[in-house]
Amino acid sequence: MFCARCGSKLPEGARFCGACGGMVAPSAPAPPAYAPPPAYAPPPTYAAPPPVARSAPPAYAPPPPAAPPQRAARCSWCGSLLDAAATSCPGCGGNVSEMAVSTRSGWLQLPGRKDMAKLQFGQSTCQIEGLYVPVADFKLAPGDSVYFAHHALLWKDTALAIATMPLKGAWKRMFAGMPLIMTQAAGPGHIAFSRDLPGELIAVPIHPGQAVDVREHLFLTATGNVVYDWFQTGVWFRTKSGDETATHYPVGMFMDRFSSTGQPGLLLLHAGGNVFVRTLAPGETMLVKPTALIFKDPVVQMHLHFERPQTAFMSWGSWGNRYLWLRVVGPGRVAVQSAFEHLHGEALSMQGHSYATEMRW
Amino acid sequence: MSTPIAEPFERLQCQWCQSLNEKSALACRSCGAPLDVRNLVSESGWREAPRIRDMTEIHFSNSTCQVEGEIVPVAEINLSPGDAIFFEHHVMLWKDESVPLTLMALSGGFKRAFAGMPFLISVASGPGRIAFSRDSTGELVVLPLHPGMEVDVREHAFLLSSHQIQYSFVRIKGLANVLFGGQGMYMDRFVTAGSPGLLILHGYGNVFERVLRPGESIMLEPGAFLYKDSTVTMDVEFQKLGTGLFGGTRMSLARMTGPGRVGIQSMYVHHKTE
């Protein structure tokens, strides 16, 4: 027996759905994906379907195409289908009982995650351990693989082979003075990743046809079926201090772009502090601290924005009277972290900059 | 003997800020402290600052502040028309484009610098939304200030303050070069005049408070000092750590002397100066 509203499996004879609270119509039809038993099925017929249901991959299985009008329970964060019995979402590890909370102004907070929550992809699993600096602990099945930036590796099985991934032009990109190298690990075996500051681990499922742009150095790991690419942000400003000129990139010189190959994939990011996401309507704008940006949909446009506070006493040269923002323009998702890094060069005299809007109060 | 008369409305007093709340309230309206959690006081007498629950709303004037997140909490302000708040601009996380910004005129702000920039205080006026956070793990400490109160706060530790509060700063003598590479150390001073106001601090790590009796003192690591009532005096003392024949090293400690409140943070974060 299934809930007509959300599709959750219900005990026989239930009057209310435990998952959505909906009242169960006396003749609630079972989803067509399962051989529909008659309303008052004799016990043997009823006992048969469950094993079939369990063996189906719960995370990224496309919704059963046979039942378009039926709405199944979905995770409020990542949209994965939820099994009525699950306590955490198999797609992102979010706590099912505590759905994503939205702030008064409409930012969605990352849903809480129970320690040791497990995600699934392909035949592999990833367990998220710890709450301050969470660890992503992968159990890779044969044939499944993940890739990662080498500095995020926490530990691995001795037998698990890792190899560098060929990247075009990677020598141009440096991380802490070292060239950025993507490293790949293929199953079977265990491998775990973490970062160096307290914060949240964000599971971003990449659905077929989807892509997401991530500010550099926030990437933890992605499954092998996610395409990695990077592009120049085109957001910069040039400062002059004495004889020295410097170019600053408030959201990084490069941004990482992760897209799907046609199969669903999983991307794990680590942000400092707490994480908030909002979906901007077409044309809707928001001023965000540049170093607080985590990711955005590729359709979201971004550029510099200078804000000059009104001051009665004087104009203080080029530094003091302007603040530097990243202006993001919808439509699309944008995510921010609450622990931002310091913005370098903001205090110096500016010589030039990429496209920017300005507000003088 | 008089029999106590039942009040028509029973009120719950917040143990943190002493405001009165409706009996059904779960968190204090003025400071966000949970009302169903007892005070946590250590055996040595430090009281833990209340852990504000995620998404708690705090009311001040006609505006609200929502506290979001528990690792690096965000203070999201919904300003109503006529209300304003002031802050150091580098703590702004995001804002509506339509919220006007002005600069507060400060005397001596040139001498004081932060990250190479002259020290500026910005003012945002309602209506509109603006959110603030800091760069590291910690908690928000909400101090509703009643008329006549004076509080001194470690520099760069205040996140925002409502416009009813008057702002100034004082230099701590004797701490030059010890902490911030030559600039010395300042304290921000917040004074309420006629009407109550709201002051929100960000403490790194966990925050603890104790009330010193008149004349009672305690020695603090200067980097741990977060706030104090202006009645508490702070004197920097140097302690020689001898290692026998070869001189040894000096360490500075702050002697805090009552009466009044002293607040400390458990994580000392070195402030980088660019």
Which residue in B72, B95, B116 is closest to A339 by CB distance?
Answer: B72
Phi and psi dihedrals of A195, rounded to 5?
-115, -170
Work out the pLDDT band at A192, boundaries 50, 70, 90: very high
Chain A positions touching B118 (Cβ under 8 A) are 316, 319-320
B84 pLDDT higher than 60: yes
H/E run at residue A44: helix A43-47
Q: Which of A101-110, A123-132, B209-218, B240-249 has the lowest mean pLDDT?
A: B240-249
DSSP state of B202: E
Q: Are strands B225-229 and B150-154 parallel, antiparallel or unpaired?
A: antiparallel
Phi and psi dihedrals of A298, rounded to 5?
-60, -25
| More confident of the two residues B38 and A69 | B38
Tokens, residue A194 = 């973490």
Q: Does the distance separating the beta carbons of A274 and B72 come in below 8 Å?
A: yes
Q: How far apart, in whole angstroms, are the C-alpha atoms of residue A321 and residue B11?
A: 47
Distance (Å) from the alpha carbon of A188 to chain B's nearest alpha carbon: 35
Work out the pLDDT band at A26, boundaries 50, 70, 90: very low
Give A270-296 pLDDT, tens digit per residue.
999 999 999 999 999 999 999 999 999
Question: A152, A174, A143, A156: which is closest to A221 by C-alpha?
Answer: A152
A18 pLDDT higher than 70: no
Chain A positions touching B129 (Cβ under 8 A) are 104-105
Q: Does the distance separating the beta carbons of B123 and A311 come in below 8 Å?
A: no
Tokens, residue A339 = 């622990």
Mean pLDDT to the nearest integer, B121-135: 93
Work out the pLDDT band at A175, boundaries 50, 70, 90: low
Q: Does the distance separating the beta carbons of B129 and A105 come in below 8 Å?
A: yes
Chain A positions touching B76 (Cβ under 8 A) are 103-105, 107
Work out the pLDDT band at A92, boundaries 50, 70, 90: confident
Q: How far apart, in whole angstroms, are the C-alpha atoms of residue B238 and residue B250?
A: 6
Which residue in A132, A276, A361 is closest to B101 by CB distance?
Answer: A361
Q: Does the distance separating the beta carbons of B76 and A104 come in below 8 Å?
A: yes
Which of A270, A340, A344, A350 should be substituted to probe chain B, the one whose Cβ sees the most B Cβ atoms within 10 Å? A340
Give B9-26 pLDDT, tens digit per residue.
678 899 999 899 998 899
Q: Supply the pLDDT for residue A20.
A: 60
- Among A25-34, A204-213, B167-176, the range of highest mean pLDDT: A204-213
In the sheet that holds A182-186, the strands lie side by side as: A162-164, A182-186, A145-149, A219-223, A265-272, A199-206
Tokens, residue B243 = 């290692």
Q: Supply the pLDDT for residue A179.
A: 58
> Do the Cβ atoms of A273 and A292 come closer than 8 Å?
no
Q: Which residue in chain A is spatially nearest to B134 when comparing CA positions?
A: A339
Query: Could you tell me how far CA A99 lies from the centroid of its own chain?
Result: 16
Determine if the peptide bond prior to A142 is cis (ω within 30°).
Answer: no
> Do the Cβ atoms of B167 and B145 come closer than 8 Å?
no
Give the CA radius of gyration of chain B: 20
Which of A102, A248, A274 should be substituted to probe chain B, the one whose Cβ sees the most B Cβ atoms within 10 Å? A274
Q: Does the distance separating the beta carbons of A338 and B76 come in below 8 Å?
A: no
Query: Could you tell me how far CA B176 lies from the centroid of its own chain?
Result: 22
Mean pLDDT to the nearest integer, A44-68: 44
Whether ipTM exceeds 0.95? no
> Do the Cβ atoms of A50 and A16 come closer than 8 Å?
no
Q: Does the distance separating the beta carbons of B129 and A309 come in below 8 Å?
A: no
Which residue in A199, A320, A327 is closest to B117 by CB distance?
Answer: A320
Q: How far apart, in whole angstroms, are the C-alpha atoms of residue B226 and residue B68?
A: 22
> Do the Cβ atoms of A347 and A315 come closer than 8 Å?
no
DSSP B81-134: TT-EEEE-GGGEEEE-TTS-EEE---TTTTT-EETTEE---EEEESSEEEEE--
% pLDDT > 70, chain B: 82
Give B220-229 pLDDT, tens digit per residue.
888 889 999 9
The helix/strand/coil state of B186 is strand
Distance (Å) from the alpha carbon of B234 to chain A's nearest alpha carbon: 31
Q: How far apart, in whole angstroms, are the C-alpha atoms of residue A162 and residue A139?
A: 14
> Do the Cβ atoms of B39 and B55 come closer than 8 Å?
no
Q: Supply the pLDDT for residue A207.
A: 87
Work out the pLDDT band at B108, boundaries 50, 70, 90: low
**Tokens 């209310």 found at:** A16
Work out the pLDDT band at B4, boundaries 50, 70, 90: low
Q: Are strands B233-241 and B249-257 parallel, antiparallel or unpaired?
A: antiparallel
Q: Supply the pLDDT for residue A70.
A: 45
**Tokens 């985590």 found at:** A294
Q: Supply the pLDDT for residue B182.
A: 41
Which residue in A313, A339, A359 is closest to B97 by CB distance?
Answer: A359
Give B192-202 pLDDT, tens digit per residue.
988 899 999 99
The helix/strand/coil state of B12 is strand
Q: How far apart, in whole angstroms, are the C-alpha atoms of residue A358 and residue A247?
A: 20
The helix/strand/coil state of B214 is coil
Q: How far apart, in whole angstroms, are the C-alpha atoms of residue B124 and residue B145?
A: 20
- The average confidence (pLDDT) of chain A is 78
> Do the Cβ atoms of B222 and B178 come closer than 8 Å?
yes
Mean pLDDT to the nearest integer, B101-126: 74
A15 pLDDT higher than 50: yes
**Dihedral of the CA atoms A270, A274, A279, A283 (nearest 10)?**
-100
DSSP state of B205: S
Distance (Å) from the alpha carbon of A49 to chain B's nearest alpha carbon: 41
DSSP A82-95: --TT-SB-TTT-BB
A212 pLDDT higher than 70: yes
Phi and psi dihedrals of A58, rounded to 5?
-80, -25
Give A51-61 pLDDT, tens digit per residue.
444 444 444 54
- The average confidence (pLDDT) of chain B is 85
A351 pLDDT higher than 60: yes
Chain B positions touching A343 (Cβ under 8 A) are 90
Mean pLDDT to the nearest integer, A146-157: 89
- Among A123-132, A341-350, B106-115, the range of highest mean pLDDT: A123-132
% pLDDT > 70, chain A: 72
> Do the Cβ atoms of B268 and B204 come closer than 8 Å?
yes
Work out the pLDDT band at A87, boundaries 50, 70, 90: confident
Q: Supply the pLDDT for residue B254.
A: 86
Q: How far apart, in whole angstroms, are the C-alpha atoms of residue A188 and residue A167?
A: 24
| More confident of the two residues B119 and A337 | A337
